[in-house]
Amino acid sequence: MHNFYLTPKLFILFLILLLQKSVIFGQVIDIQVVPPQRPDFQMYELWYVTAINNSPEAVTGFFEATVYSGENSVVAHARSASVTLEPGITIFNYRNYTLLEPINNIRIDPRFEEYILRTNSLPPGEYEVCVRFFSFPEGEELAERCYFLNSDKIIAPALINPPNKSIVQESRQMFVWSPASGTAIQQNLNYELTIVEILAGQSEVAAIQSNRPFFFMENLTSPMQVYPAAARSFREGTNYAWQVKARTGTFVVAESEVWVFRYQKQTDEDEDEEETDTDTTATEDISGNQFYALKTFIQPGFYAPASDVLYFTWFNPYREEQPDISISDNHGNEIYTAPLEAIQSHGLNFNSLNLLEIPQLNAGVIYTLQLKNEKGMQYSLRFRQPKIDYSKE
């Protein structure tokens, strides 16, 4: 039996070789990552990696990508197939990232799973992404690169109509909000509208969070909804809170503020009010004519034109168009409709309507003038037909 004696010099040489092997593997493999440049990136873009093998020999291994959110909470994790990195630079991008497939060992936080699997992207938010390279089959980590990533920022829907803390008199109220915006969600975006009664002592936020919905509708693709005739009727004198949430599938990506309105049905006494100009937003033109603004909500009171011409303005937020106008009686029956004579430009438009040319109007009766643009948004103004019956002249 032979005893092997390790001299001090051989021992030091052995240690140096071990250290060199460890340092070599830590140095010869490096990875560089270019974070996705678009806010609406796809998950496969996380595999866009540049691998640098500075050794003279090929190295076989695999990549792992991990997405973290908050306190190192793992949102998603996946492992690539084994690849061989030849000496030099190997680039994985949109042309050849499929060389890393099949992707396996996939783990996704259940809270994000439905969104990620359906859209192949991350929900809006801030994340840390780490890409690592491991030797195969040893499983030794040879390189790591981490970076911070902002997924698409979503601008929440903004409530428009009915205005906050307003009085609603229409049983079929039009609810309007601005669309949520964000490039990653436009193709799959839908909304849900929730209305709840506010109980005594409750704030509107507490009501929307805890009370059973008085009305709920989902899968709305347009940022407006008329309260359905078949839905439960609003209760007289009751305060309601309402909110809109934007979804992609079943995942909530943004939600609006909570607004309040009170339902107070119009009474016969309201119709018998003295003739008065109740709109304080009149605009006077150079001829001295008073123009009154059409609103996206029906205001209490009415405008009493002083002559046979009704002057009105409306703000067009979209491109040029020629919308229709209509006049309805107090029971919602449409008695007149026609396109506006002039093309309506983007911005504030001034119009007039000769009431003499509408024989269906009766003196002293209150009517609603409505304008509907090509997006389906309605603008309204209530007016009382002058007591001179022009149809007899």
Q: Judge if 29 and 113 occupy the same domain.
A: yes
> Residue 344: which CATH number?
2.60.40
Q: Judge if 256 and 318 occupy the same domain.
A: no
Tell me the pLDDT of the chain (393 aa) as tens digits. Answer: 455 455 655 555 554 454 444 444 446 789 888 777 655 566 778 888 999 998 899 999 999 999 998 767 898 899 999 999 999 999 988 788 888 888 887 888 888 887 777 667 777 778 899 999 999 888 889 999 998 887 766 678 888 888 888 888 888 888 988 888 765 555 578 899 999 999 988 899 999 999 999 999 999 988 888 899 899 999 998 999 999 998 877 677 788 999 999 998 765 444 444 434 444 344 444 345 677 778 766 666 678 787 888 888 887 776 678 888 999 887 778 899 988 878 887 767 788 888 888 888 888 888 889 888 777 777 888 888 886 544 444
The sign of the torsion formed by the CA atoms of 64, 50, 44, 109 equals positive
- 174 part of a folded domain: yes
Instruction: Give the count of beta carbons closer than 10 Å to the beta carbon of residue 94.
Output: 11
Strands 59-69 and 83-85: antiparallel
Q: How many structural domains is the chain composed of?
A: 3
Q: Judge if 304 and 371 occupy the same domain.
A: yes
- 173 part of a folded domain: yes
Question: Which of 196, 161, 154, 165 has its CA nearest to residue 176?
Answer: 161
pTM to 2 decimal places = 0.42
Pick the last residue of a domain from 150, 174, 193.
Answer: 150
Q: For residue 258, give both structure tokens.
A: 């909570």
Rounded Cα gap, residues 47 and 146, in angstroms: 13
Domain that residue 275 falls in: 268-392
